[in-house]
Structure 1
Amino acid sequence: MLSSLLGGCRGVPSTGTGSRLFWTFLTLGFLGMSTDVLAHAVAQGDRGYIQEITGINLIAFIYLGAKHMVTGYDHLLFLLGVIFFLYQMKHIAIYVSLFALGHSTTMLLGVYFNVGINSYIIDAIIGLSIVYKALDNIGAYQRWFGFQPNTKAATLIFGFFHGFGLSTKIIEYDISPDGLIPNLLAFNVGVEIGQLIALAMILIAISFWRKTDGFFRHAYTANVAMMSAGFLLFGYQLTGYFVA
């Protein structure tokens, strides 16, 4: 994607307002990768709350879902990669909707049917999803293999994996079956609210950056940074899998 513009780019981000906003967001994302974040976990306090409550608690689960998405750096990095070169709102809406469809489907069905996947393996795949999208953004597949993968299908498929990442954790927390379906639906609503909030923040930062002369000159560097974060997540999870 736009490989002719990005192929030879190497450099330091420009000092424009938009560039500073974007790189601040990306840097905070890296610095915020605590052990819990890297493990795709729900916060310890929230975990205890989920395990203790019973019955229908819609507002609480909406809040928990929104909080998870806004603080889920693996989700946000993938979302950033997806919209990096999307300029029209209709295209952004299509890709974000595909990601939401995949994420929601496997999260709901995974918990309801108690389908769990080893959390280290699924989170390693989520790390690779970030690597995949960063490589796609710099046109690597066209240069290396001479073809462009279906980006919509990839977004949906990786959305499935992101959903399984969350459902696996929820299953581990042994959520009460009393009010399970309404609470899961409320949680999913919260996830989508959180995604919209995060998307708005990303769009504000990247929109300012796109108005500067340095956007195309340093887009390569930004995607390499995202790819590095994806490899970091992947390596961390594989290490956890073999050590555990």
Structure 2
Amino acid sequence: MKFPVPGVPPRELVPALALCLLLLGASVQALAHAVAEGDKGYIQEIAGINLLPFVYLGAKHMVTGYDHILFLFGVIFFLYRLQHIAIYVSLFALGHSTTMLAGVYFGIGVNSYLIDAIIGFSIVYKALDNLGAYQRWFGVQPNTRVATLIFGFFHGFGLSSKILDYDIAPDGLLPNLLAFNVGVEIGQLLALGAILIAMGFWRRSPSFLRHAYTANVVMMTAGFVLIGYQLTGYFVS
């Protein structure tokens, strides 16, 4: 999609700048996105099947996982029909659920700095896709559904790396993992609902495309910030 980028009066930029600051602030919080010490201590003290605590932890992780939310925000940015939104969100859920469950159950360790850098790259990728960069640069449009599924796999490994930090007891592991995944999906639906409500109001603005261009540029910047932070942590750790 090509955006018009004419001069925009400062007053019209206020909503876009507010959204951009929100996205940038979310990305800064995402830099410290990790397992809360209180949650980690609680999980390490319990054993057996504890479905409700793991549902809560899964929902909390997704709602506070601003890197996941930023990617989801980019995925649905130009989706208007609920049918299309459901398809893409389902592909993302399928991807991250598969690798999250497999990663924890089989103990597949992935360096958290590298996987979080890839998650940051997924945000950059989607922002560039929304800006129509691939069509202008390469004359092709990547398959957005396949990309959403593939990046969902990486987001799932990001989730599994956080779960492994919990050091969950093997007793009742599979039911607890499934409960955590249910919580993740609940959190994703809550985040999605909030995004769709906000987007519904924003899209009614006559200057939506100009604001959308700015928002995607800042979302891309937030992704680069995440990549740089995680790669720096990898090389200095």
Same fold? TM cut 0.5: yes
Change (3 A) 1:76 1:23: farther
The letter for the 2-side match of 1:73 is Y
Which of 22, 25, 28 is the equivalent residue of 1:31? 25
Contact 1:141 1:148 in 2 (8 A): yes
1:8 Cα deviation after fit: 3.1
Q: Report how many residues are paired.
A: 237
Change (3 A) 1:225 1:149: same
Change (3 A) 1:102 1:114: same
Change (3 A) 1:190 1:71: same
Which of 104, 112, 116 is the equivalent residue of 1:111? 104
Q: Specify the SS of the correspondent of 2:183.
A: helix
Which of 130, 139, 142 is the equivalent residue of 1:137? 130
Q: Which aligned pairs between 1:1-244 and structure 2 lie closer than 5 A?
A: 2-3=1-2, 6=3, 8=5, 11=8, 20=15, 24=18, 27-33=21-27, 37-244=30-237
**Alpha-carbon displacement from aligned partner over 1:175-206 (angstroms, at most 9, x marks no partner):** 10011000000000000000000000000111
Change (3 A) 1:184 1:216: same
Structure 1: gaps of 5 or more residues: none
The letter for the 1-side match of 2:24 is F
**Alpha-carbon displacement from aligned partner over 1:66-89 (angstroms, at most 9, x marks no partner):** 011111000000000000000000
CA distance in 2, matches of 1:233, 1:145: 26
1:208 Cα deviation after fit: 0.3
The letter for the 2-side match of 1:56 is I
| TM-score normalised to structure 1 length | 0.91
The letter for the 2-side match of 1:105 is T
CA distance in 2, matches of 1:236, 1:10: 33
The letter for the 1-side match of 2:236 is V
Change (3 A) 1:95 1:102: same
Structure 2: gaps of 5 or more residues: none
CA distance in 1, matches of 2:110, 2:89: 24
CA distance in 2, matches of 1:108, 1:187: 9
Contact 1:103 1:160 in 2 (8 A): yes
CA distance in 1, matches of 2:181, 2:11: 38
CA distance in 1, matches of 2:19, 2:45: 35
Change (3 A) 1:146 1:34: closer
**Alpha-carbon displacement from aligned partner over 1:27-61 (angstroms, at most 9, x marks no partner):** 344324556x3254122211111222111110110
Contact 1:103 1:162 in 2 (8 A): yes
C-alpha RMSD of matched pairs (Å): 2.0
The letter for the 2-side match of 1:208 is F
Q: Percent identity?
A: 71
The letter for the 1-side match of 2:66 is Y
